[in-house]
Amino acid sequence: MFLTSSNIRVYLAMGITDMRKSIDGLSILVSERLELDPFSGHLFVFCNRKRNMIKILYWDRNGFCLWHKRLEKHFFKWPTSKEEIMTIEKRELTW
């Protein structure tokens, strides 16, 4: 599981993300739009327009990991903000 380290931060990429993006596209988005280091080991969370799909990108020792979840009948509670990025607590990710 990716929440074992105590110093891992969770960043939500605000707005809508094109879910056709994979590791390369999302890591570029992290470095260019969010101005953060995709190799930091922190979790970067992205959501689609319908809010039924999220992707989590993170660096794990020797390579990127991409976790993808799609809800069939429900929606993720995705916050709205004018900022590009929002930080949440790890425990909030499990809700």
Contact 52, 60 (CB under 8 A): no
Quote the DSSP letter at residue 84. S
The better pLDDT of the pair 5, 26 is held by 26
At 85, the pLDDT band (50, 70, 90 cuts) reads confident
In this predicted model, what pLDDT tens digit does every residue of 40-72 receive, in sequence order? Answer: 999 999 999 999 999 999 999 899 999 999 999
At 88, the pLDDT band (50, 70, 90 cuts) reads confident
Q: Would you report the helix, strand and coil content of the chain in percent, each value rounded to 5?
A: 15, 30, 55
pLDDT at 1: 47
Contact 17, 48 (CB under 8 A): yes
Specify the pTM: 0.87
Rounded-to-integer distance, Cα 57 and Cα 41, Å: 9
